[in-house]
Amino acid sequence: MAIFREFAQLCEEIEKESGKKEKARLIGEFLRQLSPEEGRIASHLFLGSFPAGRRIFVSWNTLMDTLGEMFPLSPKDLQKIGKSAVDIGEMVEGIYKRWGRYKSRGITIREIYEKLASLAELEGKGAMRKRKTILKGLLVGMDSLEAKYLTKTIVGEMRIGVKEGMVLEGLAYAVGISIGEVRKGFLLYGDIGKTVENFLSKGRTALLSLSLKPFQPLQPMLAQMAYSVREAFEEIEGDLALEFKYDGARVQIHKEGDKVMIFSRHLNDLTSSFPEVVEEVKSNIKGDAILEGEVVAVKEGRFMPFQEILRRVTRKREITRMQREIPLKLFLFDCLYADGESLIERSYEERWERLREIKGGIALAERIVPEDVEKGEEFFRKALESGAEGVMAKALKGIYTPGSRGKLWLKVKKSATLDLLIIGAEWGYGRRHNWLSDYHLACWDREKRELLMVGKTFKGLTDEEFEEMTKRLLSLKVREEGKVVYVKPEVVVEVAFNDIQRSPRYKCGYALRLARILRIREDKRPEEADDLSAVEKIYHSQ
C-alpha cells in the first residue's frame, strides 16, 4: 500500500528538481511501484485535482478554523509564519514545525483520497462542521511534510511544476511505451486517472481495446482566436465554413439505445441539469451517436447571457422551476460517432453531412460556406445582430483533434477579449466601500509558469455580482496588504478593452486600456486563462 508520506517526500524532491525529464522519471519510478488503482489516485493528487471536476469545498477559513482547534494560534503567530511562506502549504508546514505536536501514523494515499472524496459529497445543514471533523481527523495523524502536501492538494495548488503532460510522460516511462501512445490513450479516455489506471493495468494493450464509444467522453477539440473574419480566411488553408458562436454551454452528447448522457467541455456530467435536452435527443436521434452542440438559454426569441445557463447547472434541486424560467435550445455542430463508427478522423465536411442525416428535428448551428471575405463578414454581422457572440471558422477538410488547439478551428468575436485571472482586489470607495471592486487582472507566462498582471478594472459587474464576488474572493484570500486583498488565482473572467498599450508599470510590459468584465468564465479552469502571447498578438495587430 502506497503511504502518503512517500508521496509527500516525492513531491518535495520533484519541486526541487529543475529538469522536466528528471521530474517525469521520478513520477514514472513512483507509478511503477503502485497498483493501477493507486496510480489513478496518485495522478489526481499530483495535480491537486479530482475526476470530472469534483470540488471538495474547503475554504481558507475552514482550514484556519480547523488548525485553530489543533494549535494555540494567535493572529500574530499566523502573520509571522505567513510572511515567510510562499503558499498555504508552507504556512501549514511552519505551524506544525513551530509546535511539533503531531506525528505521522502512516496513512495511505487511498485513505487520503477516500476522505477527500467524502468531503466533496457533503452538502446542506451541518456540512461545514462535518468537513472540519474529517479534515481534523486527517491532520492529527500527520507530520509537517504530510500536512504541507495535504493542504496543497486540498486547495489545488501543488506548485511542484507538474501538469497533465508530465504525468503522461512519467506514465510512458513507467510502462515502457512511447509518449505518443500514452497521449492517444489520454485523448480517448478523457481523464488522467483512467489513463494511468488502464496503462498500468494493461500496458500497451490498453490501446488495443480502446476505441471511441458512447459514455466514454473524450477531450473536446479547441479553437484558437482570430481577430477578424479576414484573418480567419488568411489562417485557414483551403475552404472554410462559418458557424454562429453561441453564448451558451458547449456539450458532448452520448446516446446508445434509449440512454442519453450529456457532458460539459470539462467532461462533467450535466445530464440531470438538462432533462429537456435528453428528451429531445431521445426523440430525434435514431441510432447510437456522440454529438457536440451548444445549449443556449432563449427567451422571447432572444439569446440570454451565459450566466443563465449556469443557474440551470448549479440549481439541480429546482430543475422543474428553472425549466420554466430559463428555457433552453440545443444547436448541434458536430458528429464524432454514429452507429458504431468513429468519425474523428473524417473531415469536418463529412462529419457535418453525417450530422445532417441523423439530427432529426434538432436545430443545427447556423452556418454558411462563404465564397469570399465579404460574404463572411456579412455573416459575422448577422451573427452579432442575432445575439451570438461571434462566429467559428472551421476548415472543411480538417479532422477532429481531441484536446488540441490548432488552426483548423478559429473563433472570431465582436471585439478583442482576453480570459484573465483575478489575482487580487481592492476595497471600493463610496457606494462600493463594502465590496472588493477593483480587480487585479493577470495572464499566464507559461514558459516561466507565472502570472503577470496586465491591468485593473472595477467595471462590468452589477451590484449583486459585486457582492457575490466579494464573498467569493474573501474565501480565496491569501493575504491582505493595505487596501489590497490578494487571492488564490481561481476566478477566470472574460475582459474586453479598448486597446493594449506598452507600459513599464507591469512586469509583462503591457497594460489594458479601459478594461471591463464581460462575464465570469465558470466554465474555464485557471490554467485555461490566456497567455502573454495572446496579449502580444492583440497589441501587434493594432
C-alpha cell at 309: 445557463
Widest pairwise Cα distance in the chain: 74
Q: Cell 465582436 identifies what position?
A: 414
Between CA 383 and CA 375 the distance in angstroms is 12
Nearest to 397 by CA among 354, 350, 365: 350
Between CA 339 and CA 213 the distance in angstroms is 10
C-alpha cell at 538: 492583440
Instruction: Find which of 23-37, 190-204, 262-276, 414-428 is predicted with most confidence, using mean pLDDT.
Output: 23-37
- Tell me, yes or no, if 245 is annotated catalytic: yes
Helical H segments across 285-385, by residue range: 306-314, 319-325, 348-358, 373-385
Between CA 96 and CA 90 the distance in angstroms is 10
Least confident segment among 152-156, 249-253, 377-381: 152-156
Between CA 200 and CA 42 the distance in angstroms is 12
Asked whether the predicted pLDDT for residue 429 surpasses 80, the reply is no
Confidence (pLDDT) at 430: 65
Angle at 477 between CA 476 and CA 483, to 5 degrees: 140
More confident residue, 253 or 75: 253
Average pLDDT over residues 128-153: 94
Main-chain dihedrals φ then ψ at residue 378, nearest 5 degrees: -65, -40
Angle at 260 between CA 44 and CA 266, to 5 degrees: 30
Confidence (pLDDT) at 57: 66
Asked whether the predicted pLDDT for residue 502 surpasses 80, the reply is yes
Angle at 49 between CA 466 and CA 190, to 5 degrees: 110
> Domains of the chain (ranges plus CATH)?
227-413 (3.30.470.30), 417-541 (2.40.50.140)
Nearest to 187 by CA among 214, 221, 162: 221
Between strands 367-368 and 510-513, the pairing is: unpaired
Mean pLDDT of the chain: 89
Least confident segment among 57-61, 450-454, 513-517: 57-61
Asked whether the predicted pLDDT for residue 53 surpasses 70, the reply is no
Between CA 297 and CA 309 the distance in angstroms is 6
Count other C-beta atoms under 10 Å from residue 44's C-beta.
22
Between CA 409 and CA 396 the distance in angstroms is 10
Asked whether the predicted pLDDT for residue 52 surpasses 60, the reply is no
Of the chain, the percentage scoring pLDDT greater than 70 comes to 97
Main-chain dihedrals φ then ψ at residue 152, nearest 5 degrees: -65, -35
Could you tell me the pTM of the whole model?
A: 0.63
Confidence (pLDDT) at 51: 60
Residues whose CB falls within 8 Å of the CB of residue 314, separated by 6 or more in sequence, listed in order: none
Of the chain, the percentage scoring pLDDT greater than 90 comes to 58
Confidence (pLDDT) at 59: 72
At 354 the three-state DSSP class reads helix
Give the torsion sign (CA, 424, 429, 435, 438).
negative
- Residues 289-339 have pLDDT tens digits of 999 999 999 887 778 877 788 777 766 667 778 788 888 999 999 999 999
Q: Which of 23, 152, 194, 245 is catalytic?
A: 245
Query: Buried b / exposed e across 344-378, counting CB within 10 Å, b at 16+?
Result: bebebeebbebbeebbeebebbbbeebeeeeebbe
Confidence (pLDDT) at 156: 77
Average pLDDT over residues 37-63: 80
Confidence (pLDDT) at 21: 94
Count other C-beta atoms under 10 Å from residue 220's C-beta.
22
Q: Which long-range contacts (CB under 8 A, 24 or more apart) does 379-384 make?
A: 379/229, 379/242, 380/229, 380/242, 380/412, 383/244, 383/245, 384/414
